[in-house]
Amino acid sequence: MNADYELAIDHDKPYEITAFAKKHGLTTRAAELILFAYSPSRAACDTAATAFLTAVAVQAKRQAAR
């Protein structure tokens, strides 16, 4: 089977919670919530994970500045 075709098929499959959490360095609970809100779109889930991690980093920076 063509490798590009296989990538396209995998792209259409929803993430498994543990794989998604590991990919983005999230807790299982955070991954579960993001996947619940944005599945089955992998692109939307990836974007949401990045936004979540950015928000967490900004909040941590604000807390450290106090």
What is the C-alpha separation between 42 and 6, in angstroms, rounded? 15
Angle (nearest 5°) at CA 57 between 28 and 63: 115
Residue of 12, 5, 15, 33 whose CA lies nearest to 52: 33
Question: In sequence order, which residues have a C-beta less than 8 Å from that of residue 17 and are 6 or more positions away?
Answer: 28, 31, 32, 35
pLDDT tens track for 1-60 = 445 544 445 667 889 999 999 999 999 999 999 999 999 999 999 999 999 999 999 999
pLDDT tens track for 33-48 = 999 999 999 999 999 9
What is the C-alpha separation between 64 and 40, in angstroms, rounded? 36
Query: pTM of the predicted model, to two decimals?
Result: 0.78
